[in-house]
Amino acid sequence: MSGTNRPDLSEVRKHFPHWPSELDVAKVPAHWAQMAQSFFLAAQVLNDEQRKAHRQWLDNVGQPADLDAYKRSLTMPAAFFCLAFSLELALKAALVKQGALDNLGSGQALPFSSHNLYRLAQDVDGLYLDADHKECLEWASEIIASGKYPVGKKPRDDTVSHVNRAFSDLTRIAGPLYGELMEMAADQPE
């Protein structure tokens, strides 16, 4: 083990010479797509929980506060992050499927290490992007970049981008875009 608490893969390969490298794993579109699916579904679950908690709050006005419902009502920053990150992973799945990593060798940086999703989307062959897509991808990039601080840094900071739009407004654009990217990343039956 190194100082970063990560296993030394050269030691693993002594015992398992055919163990796939991180690059081997990165070159499989399905790995990116599976991660994208997990984050997309997590966003939906978190949004559903927030909506149920909000409804519970409204139904119990005048009653003692329900701490569990209150905690569930605070899930939206995580839901927005999961939605944004699912778009990034779906974009990367489509790019990998189209060969973005085919010529990448061991030790080289991934060509899409940026979180600029609109720029990444422009590299996906056959993906049509309109003004709504651009706005959505720029929003997602901002959410991912601010992931360390998914809520305001100050107690009264209400300027965080993801609270300015409703989740349903964003999923109206992000959902079909995500679906199209996942189709592009999938193996097509012959």
Helix 76-97 and helix 29-59: axis angle, to 10°?
160
Q: 26-101+111-185 has which fold? A: Four Helix Bundle (Hemerythrin (Met), subunit A) (1.20.120)
Q: Please work out, in degrees rounded to the nearest 5, the angle formed at the alpha carbon of residue 172 by the alpha carbons of 158 and 175.
A: 105
- Tens of pLDDT along 11-27? 776 777 776 667 777 88
Query: pTM for the whole thing?
Result: 0.79
Domain boundaries, the chain: 26-101+111-185
pLDDT the model gives residue 44: 93
How high is the pLDDT of residue 161?
47
Weakly modelled stretches of the chain, pLDDT under 50: 1-2, 160-163
Q: How far is CA 161 from the centre of its chain?
A: 16
Residue 116 has a pLDDT of: 92
pLDDT digits (tens, 9 = 90+) for 102-116: 888 777 777 877 889
